[in-house]
């Protein structure tokens, strides 16, 4: 029997709001699914859209990006610049064929532990329903270098 | 690179749902890891010693700790590693508690995730660089914005500690609202009597530079190193020549046209005036909007009578710049304008109380002026309309406060106390008078506050009625106050001679603009936002900018004074060191690849990106590139993400560090 | 024709420009870029339907110019690139003597005559035959009826596809890419000294011509052009593999226009799209 598909979610979160909100979810012992891996950046302004591409290249089935609510940015305007970039990038990916069922955005403040759990679980469920990102995995496969067959050769 | 991995059980907090020995075992096989162990409490002394010992014995270059959130113990582990000889930025934390053990139940899933998180951290730390904290010099000088009691206190404290202070006040005199008050609760001592000596002390203090009738125009720089541009509004009087004799104001033919701001519009003042006799500085200003000379080009009476030739009609606004290390914002409050709906305001106002329509409906500050010996009635209790003694007086609390539909949802905090005081002052002056207070709740938290309110009720027989007033209208020179007594469950009608509204304290109208100038946040009401509601109540999110008094939220006098002193203490902490230490998480430009498009400059919220010319040995311009002012950069990394050629990178969150984590995702 | 020559001759003899970047016809009757340094050189300058190149691509190399003004012959589409370069600090307006030409369309295939079937895509939806600003203007326009904007029809077709179909469509296109970077070299807005694709520590984009590397390169190139592309279509013209690159850049331009009401390169005073923000930028996609 085929193993049940478990999506891999890469989440880029800002240090001050969402990461802290996720901390709060932990402190409050709010249970959530274990498919997401968080990568902490100082601010959503730091998130280059290429990070999203890189995440897909490394096997992510979905990407979630989250930061401070507009007006709450620890760095005043990082999230405003980020939001503008996202609008452009999201439209571009959409036109290329990576639609919003793979890419998610949210604002989660340091006090919104519950919201964070709902967002994460929601994204995991949605991507699980969508299935693995086959097209990208196919592209990834193409470049895999066959590992040397001989024993004792370590590829470090 | 030799990496040491340490997995903490956090008692059972992590250990219960994450198989820590297995995580430690898995980490041992990661490329680069030469040491891996787990322990019950990594943050404890024995735990830290394990790390230190491993660093020494195995000559580790970097350390990864799997523990609680980095917000919790990153500093602890960095310090421990530094003491064992590793640069503290060669330490990475994997959050195995808040982001793993506490939120998952399945031990297999949680352990797998923990291993992934450890892998991310191990891969990332390989790209970490040893960093040194940044040291910036401190200008040991302070700017205080606002010369009310809070600002005065802050300025005096700093100056008395031996540091220079620039005190900026937008009005012609310092003193603020406290100078308008008659007596203060709960002691009923005279406000001016306790304030005036402080004002004089400010004026005479050799360390305080007082810039009255001035406003902050522009602020550049960062903690320890602000450059502030201040607009000195034209007084039309040469301050250095004026002796404050007052002859100009006495002879000014304009007597009736201008309402006295100090008397809250209950009296008139001349076109050239000092706000009140004890003003500091005692230098008049000309109100050009009413002055005959400025309107018609004729008169010049003040100029003629001034023996010192201090009048200068040609004076212009001037600008001065001041270098300061800290800024204290003490801009105070104003009262909710209840007579009409403020323009562009979402608040409805209290038109039904007739403020602005009926002369005998006044606000709290106006009552203070009537009760004050220096006020328009010289302290006699006379109502504005016909200057008779009001025999029945009604006070209404919470006008605009605690009422989201008509005003503000917050409590203005001081009204319960000052209304009790007003009622008492009234009863002390009008022995046969009747005083009524409409209240929602009596909030009298504070030393001797509750006792004070009880005194008003029990000794001075003020009638407290729990309930709201629905309407006020005028009939035969009386104000008919219609309300409800919710305890008795009966409607109440009082024929009053005077009604005093305890209107909400609100933020200054210009507060959001000032907040933007200072780069600090403000809440939806326009009150400035503290850095942390519990632990950093006088600091803002901008380093070196502190808050004092009612510009932060409604405050009474002792609280404003305490906050002024607290803000001063925060400034003095800053001045305690010659150099400031900052996290080295700042952007850095690779000048060899920078194409000089300056998108980084456009996205920088801190003006930290400068232009730098690269010249060859003969001095010919090669190119213009971006350059990061390390004092201004706050480390958000927006420039890094924006730069098309990745010629600017955020140290500590460099692309290779983040990529290492993303690449590690392949093995998830 | 004489008008352009005369303007350039005058500009050079009156020292309004120290040289002029323009077009000339070579021995094989091909139009190519040419730099006229003397009034005599200016005799050779010409402009016609075959003047396809966007000459603004040469400007960034003069960004530290100290000697005198640089003359440049621009169509209205090229002028947008000049505007954008000024906004991005790659050239100073004061260093330029801009000779605008009224243009009525250029060819798609330079080996063939200009006609309805041989017209650049951009000309089919061009809205400004006359450059919005200039220091001198030469009128070279001729009446010509533009064929239909077939690219817009294709874009609408792609928009209607499912996301998987779109991905398939683009994978098939990107598969052709040989990573020659001609699209980048010819682009006036790609003036970076070191392109992101050349960054190796860390490596942002697989440099090998694999499906994954091609995909990343083309997405990132398109994103770097978002809000910056001025629509000269030089990338697509230069692409030896015939990838419809302008579908992407034009799409981004349309997004900029529909989401932000922004058109790049139209005004020197309008702030750039990237590097600014509005607190009311759309966020219905953010939870």
pLDDT range class, residue B150, cuts 50, 70, 90: very high
Question: Per-residue pLDDT averaged across A111-121, rounded?
Answer: 93
- Average confidence (pLDDT) over C246-263: 92
Residue B279 in tokens = 């003003």
Residue C198 has pLDDT above 70, yes or no: yes
Contacts of A41 in chain B (CB under 8 A): 637, 653, 658
pLDDT at A39: 96
Three-state secondary structure readout of B407-459: CCCCCCCCHHHHHHHHHHHHHHHCCCCEEEEEECCCCCCCCCHHHHHHHHHHC
Same domain, B31 and B63: yes
The pLDDT, as a whole number, for residue C63 is 87
Would the CB atoms of C212 and A107 count as touching at under 8 Å?
A: no
* B340 and B320 both lie in a single domain: no
Which tens digits make up the pLDDT trace of C4-58? 999 999 999 999 999 999 999 988 888 999 999 999 999 999 998 899 999 999 9
Tell me: the pLDDT tens digits for C44-91? 999 988 999 999 999 998 988 778 899 999 999 999 999 999 999 999
| Helix %, strand %, coil % of chain A (to 5) | 45, 15, 40
| Residues of the domain holding B347 | 333-506
Q: Is the pLDDT of residue B121 over 50?
A: yes
Describe the crossing of helices A18-27 and B70-83 by its angle, rounded to 10 degrees: 100
Q: How far apart are CA A88 and CA A94, in angstroms?
A: 10
Residue B12 lies in a domain: yes
What's CA B198's distance to the chain center, in Å? 23
Residue B347 within any structural domain of the chain: yes
Report the CATH number at residue B22.
3.40.50
DSSP type of residue C135: S
Task: Give the H or E element holding residue B336.
Answer: none
Contact B404, B443 (CB under 8 A): no
- Compare CB distances from C226 to A70, A92, A135 and report the shortest one's residue: A92
Q: Do B90 and B176 share a domain, yes or no? A: no
Q: What is the mean pLDDT of chain B?
A: 93
What is the model's pLDDT at position A78?
A: 92
Instruction: Suggest the residue from C66, C67, C192 to mutate for an interface test with chain B (most B CBs closer than 10 A).
Output: C192
- CA-wise closest residue to B37 among B81, B1, B3, B7: B7
Q: Averaged over A41-61, what is the pLDDT?
A: 94
Whether residues B117 and B106 fall in one domain: yes
% of chain C residues with pLDDT over 90: 61
B257 and B234 in a common domain: yes
Contact B530, B397 (CB under 8 A): no
HSE (side-chain half, CA atoms, 13 Å) at B528 = 33
How many percent of chain A have pLDDT more than 70?
89
B327 and B339 within one domain: no
Nearest to C120 by CA among C86, C144, C136: C144
Q: Report the distance separating Cα C69 and Cα B528, nearest Å.
A: 51
**Which of A72, A139, A141, A144 to probe the C interface (max C CBs under 10 A)?**
A139
Is residue A1 domain-resident? no
pLDDT number for residue C200: 83
Of C212, C222, C275, Cβ closest to residue A143: C212
Q: Please check whether residues B450 and B394 belong to one and the same domain.
A: yes
Confidence tier at B256 by pLDDT (50, 70, 90) = confident
CA B114 vs. chain centroid, Å, equals 42
| More confident position, A120 or C227 | A120
Q: Give the pLDDT confidence of C132-186 residue by residue, as tens digits.
A: 899 999 887 777 778 888 899 999 999 999 999 999 999 999 999 999 999 999 9
Long-range contacts of C43-46 (CB under 8 A, 24+ apart): C43/C5, C43/C9, C45/C4, C45/C5, C45/C8, C45/C20, C45/C73, C46/C1, C46/C4, C46/C5, C46/C22
Q: How many domains does chain B have?
A: 4
How far is residue B112's CA from residue B133's CA, in Å, rounded to a whole number? 36
Pairing of strands B609-615, B498-503: unpaired
Size of the A and C interface in Cβ pairs below 8 Å: 120
8 Å CB contact of C212 and A57: yes
Q: Per the domain annotation, does A3 fall within a domain?
A: no
Residue A113 lies in a domain: yes
In tens, the pLDDT along B170-185 reads 999 999 999 999 999 9
- B218-226 mean pLDDT: 88
Chains A & B: contacts with CB separation below 8 Å: 123
Please say if the pLDDT value at position C112 is more than 90. Answer: no
Final residue of a domain: which of B331, B346, B362?
B331
Neighboring chains of B (3 or more beta-carbon pairs < 8 A): A, C
In a domain, A150, yes or no: no
* pLDDT reported for residue A145: 56
Q: Is residue B568 part of a domain?
A: no
**B556 occurs within a structural domain:** no
Short-list B7, B368, B309, CA closest to B188: B368
How far is residue B426's CA from residue B557's CA, in Å, rounded to a whole number?
A: 21
Residue at a domain's end among B314, B331, B348: B331
Place of tokens 């504070």: B446
pLDDT (0 to 100) of residue C229: 92
B41-62 residue pLDDT tens: 999 999 999 999 999 999 999 9
Flag the least confident range among A45-49, A101-105, B103-107, C104-108. C104-108
Cα separation, B340 vs B352, whole angstroms: 10
Give the helix/strand (H/E) hosting B178: none
Segment B524-550 shows an average pLDDT of 88
A83–C212 C-beta distance less than 8 A: no
Residues B278 and B388 in one domain: no
Judge whether B514 lies within some domain. no
d(CA A43, CA B196) in angstroms, rounded, equals 49
Instruction: Kindly state the average pLDDT of the residues B9-19.
Output: 94
B357 touches chain C (CB under 8 A): no
Is residue B89 located within the same domain as residue B118? yes
- Is the same domain home to B36 and B53? yes
Question: How far away is chain A from the Cα of C154, in angstroms, using its nearest Cα?
Answer: 12
Find the mean pLDDT for residues B354-373. Answer: 92
**Tens of pLDDT, residues A119-141:** 999 999 999 999 999 888 888 77
Number of domains observed in the structure of chain A: 1
Q: Does residue B215 fall inside a structural domain?
A: yes
Which pLDDT does position A150 carry in this prediction? 45
CA angle, corner B314, sides to B309 and B318, nearest 5? 105
Q: Give residue A156's pLDDT band: very low, low, confident or very high (50, 70, 90).
A: very low
Q: Is residue B302 part of a domain?
A: yes
Q: Do the Cβ atoms of B194 and B109 come closer than 8 Å?
A: no
Identify whether residues B187 and B74 lie together within a single domain. no
Question: In this structure, is residue B420 part of a structural domain?
Answer: yes
- CATH number of the domain within which A16 lies: 3.40.50
Question: Which residues are CB-contacts of B83 (< 8 A; sequence separation ≥ 6)?
Answer: B52
Q: What integer pLDDT is reported at residue A66 of this predicted model?
A: 96
The answer to whether B645 contacts C64, with C-beta atoms less than 8 Å apart, is no
Over range B223-247, report the average pLDDT: 94
Q: What is the CATH number of the domain that holds B352?
A: 3.50.50.60
Distance between CA atoms of residues B446 and A30, nearest Å: 39
The mean-pLDDT minimum among B162-176, B451-465, C122-136 falls in C122-136
Using pLDDT thresholds of 50, 70 and 90, give the confidence band for residue A146: low
State which of B74, B96, B125 marks the end of a domain. Answer: B125
Residue A112 located in a structural domain: yes
Mean pLDDT of C242-271: 90
Question: Which pLDDT does position B348 carry in this prediction?
Answer: 65
Kindly give, in sequence order, each residue whose CB lies less than 8 Å from that of residue B468, ignoring residues fewer than 6 positions away. B438, B440, B483, B484
**Within a domain: A16:** yes
pLDDT grade for B604, boundaries at 50, 70 and 90 = very high
Q: What value does the mean pLDDT take over residues A10-39?
A: 94
Can you give the pLDDT at residue A149?
45
CA dist B604 and C225 (Å) reads 20
């Amino acid at each position: 029997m085929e193993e049940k598909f478990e999506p891999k979610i890469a989440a880029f979160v800002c240090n001050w709001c969402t990461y802290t909100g996720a901390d709060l979810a932990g402190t409050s012992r709010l249970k959530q699914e274990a498919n997401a891996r968080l990568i902490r950046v100082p601010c959503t302004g730091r998130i280059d859209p290429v990070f999203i591409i890189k995440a897909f290249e490394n096997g992510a089935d979905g990407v979630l990006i989250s930061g401070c609510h507009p007006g709450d940015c620890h760095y005043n305007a990082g999230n405003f610049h980020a939001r503008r970039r996202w609008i452009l990038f999201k439209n571009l990916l959409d036109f290329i064929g990576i639609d919003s069922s793979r890419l998610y955005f949210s604002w989660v403040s340091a006090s919104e532990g519950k919201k964070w759990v709902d967002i994460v679980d929601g994204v995991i469920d949605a991507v699980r329903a969508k299935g693995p990102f086959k097209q990208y995995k196919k592209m990834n496969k193409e470049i895999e270098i066959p590992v040397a067959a001989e024993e004792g050769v370590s590829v470090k | 690179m030799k990496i040491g991995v340490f997995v903490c059980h956090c008692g059972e907090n992590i250990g219960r749902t994450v198989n820590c020995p297995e995580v430690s075992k898995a980490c041992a096989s990661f490329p680069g890891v030469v040491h891996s162990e787990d322990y019950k409490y990594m943050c404890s002394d024995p735990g830290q010693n394990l790390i230190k010992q491993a660093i020494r014995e195995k000559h580790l270059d970097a350390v990864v700790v799997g523990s609680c959130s980095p917000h919790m113990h990153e500093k602890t582990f960095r310090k421990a590693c530094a003491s064992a000889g590793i640069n503290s930025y060669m330490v990475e934390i994997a959050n195995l508690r808040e982001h793993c053990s506490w939120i998952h139940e399945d031990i297999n899933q949680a352990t797998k995730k923990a291993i992934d998180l450890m892998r991310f951290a191990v891969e990332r730390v390989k790209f970490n660089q040893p960093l040194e904290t940044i040291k910036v010099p401190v200008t040991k000088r302070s700017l205080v914005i606002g010369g009310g009691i809070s600002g005065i206190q802050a300025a005096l404290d700093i100056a008395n500690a031996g540091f220079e202070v620039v005190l900026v006040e937008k009005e012609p005199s310092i003193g603020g609202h406290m100078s308008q008050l008659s007596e203060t609760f709960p002691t009923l001592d005279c406000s001016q009597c306790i304030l005036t000596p402080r004002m004089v002390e400010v004026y005479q203090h050799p360390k305080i530079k007082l810039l009255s009738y001035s406003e902050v125009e522009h602020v550049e720089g960062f903690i320890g190193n602000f450059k502030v541009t201040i607009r000195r509004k034209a007084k039309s009087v040469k301050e250095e020549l004026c002796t404050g004799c007052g002859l100009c104001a006495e002879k000014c033919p304009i007597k009736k046209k201008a309402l006295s701001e100090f008397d809250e519009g209950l009296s008139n003042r001349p076109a050239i005036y000092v706000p009140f006799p004890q003003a500091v500085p005692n230098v008049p200003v000309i109100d050009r909007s009413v002055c005959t000379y400025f309107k018609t080009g004729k008169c010049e009476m003040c100029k003629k009578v001034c023996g010192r030739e201090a009048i200068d009609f040609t004076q212009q606004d001037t600008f001065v710049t001041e270098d300061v290390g800290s800024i204290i914002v003490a801009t105070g409050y104003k009262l909710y304008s209840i007579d009409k709906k403020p323009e562009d305001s979402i608040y409805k106002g209290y038109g039904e109380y007739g403020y602005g329509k009926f002369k005998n409906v006044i606000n709290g500050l106006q009552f203070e002026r009537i009760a004050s010996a220096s006020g328009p009635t010289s302290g006699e209790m006379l109502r504005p309309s016909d200057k008779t003694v009001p025999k029945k007086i009604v006070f209404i609390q919470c006008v605009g406060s605690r009422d989201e539909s008509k005003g503000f949802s917050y409590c203005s905090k001081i009204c319960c106390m000052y209304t009790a005081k007003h009622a008492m002052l009234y009863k002390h002056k009008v022995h046969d008078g009747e005083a009524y207070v409409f209240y929602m709740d009596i909030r009298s938290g504070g030393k001797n506050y509750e006792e004070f309110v009880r005194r008003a009720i029990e000794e001075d027989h003020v009638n407290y009625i729990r309930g709201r007033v629905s309407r006020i209208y005028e009939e035969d020179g009386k104000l008919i106050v219609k309300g409800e007594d919710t305890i008795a469950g009966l409607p109440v009608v009082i024929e009053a001679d005077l009604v005093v509204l305890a209107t909400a304290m609100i933020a200054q109208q210009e507060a959001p603009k000032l907040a933007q100038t200072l780069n600090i946040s403000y809440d939806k009401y326009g009150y400035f936002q503290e850095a942390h509601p519990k632990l950093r109540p006088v600091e803002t999110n901008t380093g070196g900018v502190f808050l004092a008094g009612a510009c932060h939220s409604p405050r009474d006098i002792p609280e404003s004074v305490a906050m002024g002193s607290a803000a001063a203490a925060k400034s003095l902490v800053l001045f305690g060191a010659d150099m400031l230490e900052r996290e080295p998480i700042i952007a850095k430009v690779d000048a060899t690849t920078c194409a000089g498009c300056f998108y980084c400059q456009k996205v920088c919220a801190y003006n930290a990106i400068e232009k730098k010319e690269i010249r060859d040995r003969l001095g010919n311009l090669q190119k213009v590139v971006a350059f990061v002012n390390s004092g201004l950069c706050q480390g958000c990394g927006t420039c890094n993400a924006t730069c098309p050629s990745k010629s600017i990178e955020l140290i500590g969150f460099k692309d290779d560090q983040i990529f290492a984590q993303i690449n590690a995702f392949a093995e998830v | 024709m004489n008008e352009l020559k005369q303007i350039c001759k005058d500009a050079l003899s009156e020292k309004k420009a120290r040289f002029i970047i323009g077009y000339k016809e070579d021995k094989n009757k091909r139009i190519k870029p040419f730099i006229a340094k003397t009034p005599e050189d200016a005799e050779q300058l010409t402009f016609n339907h075959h003047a396809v190149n966007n000459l603004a691509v040469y400007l960034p190399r003069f960004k530290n110019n100290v000697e005198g003004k640089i003359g440049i012959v621009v169509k209205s589409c090229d002028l947008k690139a000049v505007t954008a370069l000024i906004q991005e600090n790659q050239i100073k307006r004061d260093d330029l003597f801009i000779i605008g030409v009224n243009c009525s369309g250029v060819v798609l295939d330079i080996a063939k005559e200009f006609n309805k079937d041989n017209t650049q895509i951009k000309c089919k939806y061009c809205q400004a035959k006359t450059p919005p600003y200039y220091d001198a203007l030469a009128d070279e326009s001729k009446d010509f009826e533009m064929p239909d904007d077939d690219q817009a029809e294709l874009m609408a077709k792609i928009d209607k596809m499912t996301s998987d179909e779109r991905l398939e469509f683009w994978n098939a296109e990107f598969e052709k890419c040989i990573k020659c970077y001609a699209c980048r070299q010819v682009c006036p807005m790609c003036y970076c000294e070191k392109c992101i694709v050349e960054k190796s520590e860390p490596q942002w984009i697989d440099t090998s011509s694999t499906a994954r590397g091609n995909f990343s390169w083309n997405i990132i190139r398109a994103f770097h052009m978002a809000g910056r592309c001025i629509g000269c279509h030089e990338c697509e013209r230069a692409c030896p593999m015939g990838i419809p690159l302008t579908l992407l850049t034009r799409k981004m331009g349309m997004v900029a226009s529909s989401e932000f009401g922004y058109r790049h390169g139209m005004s020197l005073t309008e702030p750039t799209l990237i590097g600014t923000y509005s607190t009311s930028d759309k966020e219905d996609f953010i939870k």
